[in-house]
Structure 1
């Protein structure tokens, strides 16, 4: 994976752009989250993510926020906590664009790997992550709260190029 915007333009339309997010983006982030999930994150959770050890990225199209990624960085590991696109914008390349940007930014910041959890039932997201080089490394039983039962998560990981050489 190389840094630079050319890789992002190849998968997103010319009007899309990725940018860092600020707390001014909270209302749009919460609206996208609520339109996407039965059990959305609360605004307070998003607010807590605006701190130095987190990276928050958004994809804009036609001047409005259409999706976001939240990444926590600890020691040498980036944890993709949330990647979400507005339902109207899925399957247009924006998710791949945002994922590539988040991965590149984390690796450029010195992270050796990125990990994430994805619902076992979210086959489309699993295919996206695996097509970008993520490998399955485990499961987290009952990870996602749901009604009437909890849902398992599949855990995926992507090693930074040359990260094994750094150890």
Structure 2
């Protein structure tokens, strides 16, 4: 990986189609286009990671009081496991600290072992559960709520 070809910048409306394509490819229960568009229109301070001018990952987050809420971090399937999500989340931490945030909060599917491993490696700790939070094949599944100090 040539790091000089990596660029992390704010997510913009022009990025929507690429972001949607990654979302559809990577998730069994993808966000709808309208959700992504709403986050952009409400000016969430979200980021994209580009390699050679092509978006390969994004992180959608927002601030509430002194807390950064990580809503969605996704890397294109063919780029997963190569450290791109770590670069994105580190960039989010920096941006959140500058904005005065004290911690990051997130929810993750209890069945999403790769994400749970990633967040644990990133220093997140489980602080609770939300029963029946996410749709699943059978019906609903719990979300694990995690927090990390900045």
What's the TM-score once normalised by structure 1's chain length? 0.84
1:55 to 40, 45, 62: 45
Q: Determine the structure 1 residue equivalent to 2:68.
A: 78
Change (3 A) 1:53 1:75: farther
Runs of 4+ in 1 over 4 A off after TM superposition: none
- CA displacement at 1:62 relative to structure 2: 2.0
Structure 1: gaps spanning 5 or more residues: 1-11, 161-167
What's the TM-score once normalised by structure 2's chain length? 0.93
What is the RMSD computed on CA atoms of the aligned residues?
1.4
Partners of 1:17 and 1:150 lie apart in 2 by 37
Q: Retained in 2: the 8 A contact 1:113–1:158?
A: yes
1:18 aligns with 2:8: yes
Q: Retained in 2: the 8 A contact 1:53–1:73?
A: no
Partners of 1:128 and 1:25 lie apart in 2 by 25
1:36 aligns with 2:29: no
Change (3 A) 1:52 1:76: farther
Partners of 1:38 and 1:124 lie apart in 2 by 14
Q: Determine the structure 2 residue equivalent to 1:119.
A: 109
Q: Retained in 2: the 8 A contact 1:56–1:69?
A: yes
Out of 52-61 and 32-41, give the one that drifted further: 52-61
Partners of 1:13 and 1:131 lie apart in 2 by 24
Partners of 2:61 and 2:35 lie apart in 1 by 13
Structure 2: gaps spanning 5 or more residues: none
- Count of residue pairs brought into register by the alignment: 149
Q: Determine the structure 2 residue equivalent to 1:93.
A: 83
- CA displacement at 1:17 relative to structure 2: 2.0
